[in-house]
Amino acid sequence: MSLNYSAAHSSRITKKRTSTLKRSTSSPFATLPRRKPIQRSKSKPEPSTHDGEDRFDQRLEDLGIVTTLVPHLPLKGVVEVVQYANSSMFEPMPERGGFNSTRIAEILNFRKSLPTTATVAHVHALSKSPTVTEREIAQLAGANVLRKIIVPGRGTGASTVSESLVLFTDLETMLDRAEAVDATLKEKLLQHLRSQPLSQNISAASFDPSEISSLKRAGFLTSSIPHTNPSIHPTISSTHSTSLSTISRAASGSLAAVGGSAAIVEAGGTLGLRRSSAQYESPSPADRTSDLQLGLPHTGPYLRLLTDARTHLISLIHQTGNFREMPMYLLRERWDGGTAGNDPASRAKKLRGEFAGVLPAKSRKWKHFWGLTFGWVLAECVGSGMVELFETGSVGLGLRVP
């Protein structure tokens, strides 16, 4: 066996192989190993554009409660307050608001259909003394200068919107516009109201059934407080199937737990039976003997607009933070929806092509609330006790949800 080996065949000696595909470079760092870049955390977070202005982390300085919203021009008497509330309810149509002709006609017709009335809460918000205001309302009602309208079942507590005031001259104007009511019936209703200035109820015996139906269709008469006739809605006794004691002893999930199969009938219901048109034309004997109340046409849309506007204003205050308070100027901007102003600076921005705000037609104020003014809605909230006003000393008046 030969043991003659050379170093050329040893595995410890290798030759350097050069590749023809390797690119030449002049950088001295090309042969160094590559590493991933180091992820460094930022020392300071970027400031948010929505914090600070939208939410208040500290309470506003309270220098005293402001009880009334007295305008800059003091109003003399309840009559001027009612007239001011009606005239300041809506803003005029903007010249360049983005409305088409159809939308403009809808807004103007809706405003024209609403009754010219003012709630008692609104009048108190624009008056200095509630006692003096109530005394003056009673005196003016006795002199047939104004009339108090009561709508039962509209709100509870201080936030109720069931009482409103209408001037007697405005009532005569609304009666003149009612084409479905005869002129003789109009004068008969006015004479009856003048003869009983302080009475809230109107006797049904003073009018014929056809006259009552005509005034009800026109919206000038409404039924008295519902569910007061014991023959129609009997009192539920302790042994009744719908009484609390009977229901509490019934098994959960059974029919007796909801009052039984005849719960609606025993409580005075009619199982969904509807009255025919002939029954509306001829009132029932109960309607002829019960008292009626004076009403105004389109009171329902008016009260619905009022309650929706108050709810939206309160929701804007709730969005500011935990303390539920904010300056009045900021709440006014939120209510307007950031619309473009009509001042010279805003008009100059429009001419230069700069952003000066959204069009009024795109804002909630005009799409849902028909251009209601901020001051009108604020007076409704302050008068009903839903919002408190206080002086801050630095940013003007502040608003707080109690």
pLDDT digits (tens, 9 = 90+) for 320-377: 767 888 888 888 988 988 665 555 666 666 666 665 567 888 889 999 999 999 999 9
Instruction: Give mean pLDDT, residues 233-254.
Output: 55
What is the rounded distance in angstroms from the CA atom of residue 160 to the CA atom of residue 194?
27
Question: Is 247 in contact with 257 (CB distance < 8 Å)?
Answer: yes
- pLDDT bucket at 63, cuts 50 / 70 / 90: confident
User: Hey, what are 227's tokens?
Assistant: 């569910």
Query: Among the residues of 127-223, which ranges form H helices?
Result: 130-142, 168-177, 183-195, 209-218
Instruction: Give mean pLDDT, residues 50-70.
Output: 69
Res 24 pLDDT > 90: no
Per-residue pLDDT at 253: 62
Question: Is 340 in contact with 288 (CB distance < 8 Å)?
Answer: no
Question: Is 281 in contact with 275 (CB distance < 8 Å)?
Answer: no
List of residues 6+ apart from 162 with CB closer than 8 A: 150, 151, 152, 153, 154, 155
Question: Is 70 in contact with 108 (CB distance < 8 Å)?
Answer: no
Query: Among the residues of 154-298, which ranges form H helices?
Result: 168-177, 183-195, 209-218, 244-249, 263-266, 277-281, 285-289
Question: Is 317 in contact with 334 (CB distance < 8 Å)?
Answer: no
Q: How many residues does the chain have?
A: 402
Question: Is 302 in contact with 116 (CB distance < 8 Å)?
Answer: no
- pLDDT bucket at 272, cuts 50 / 70 / 90: very low
Query: Average pLDDT, whole number, for the chain?
Result: 76
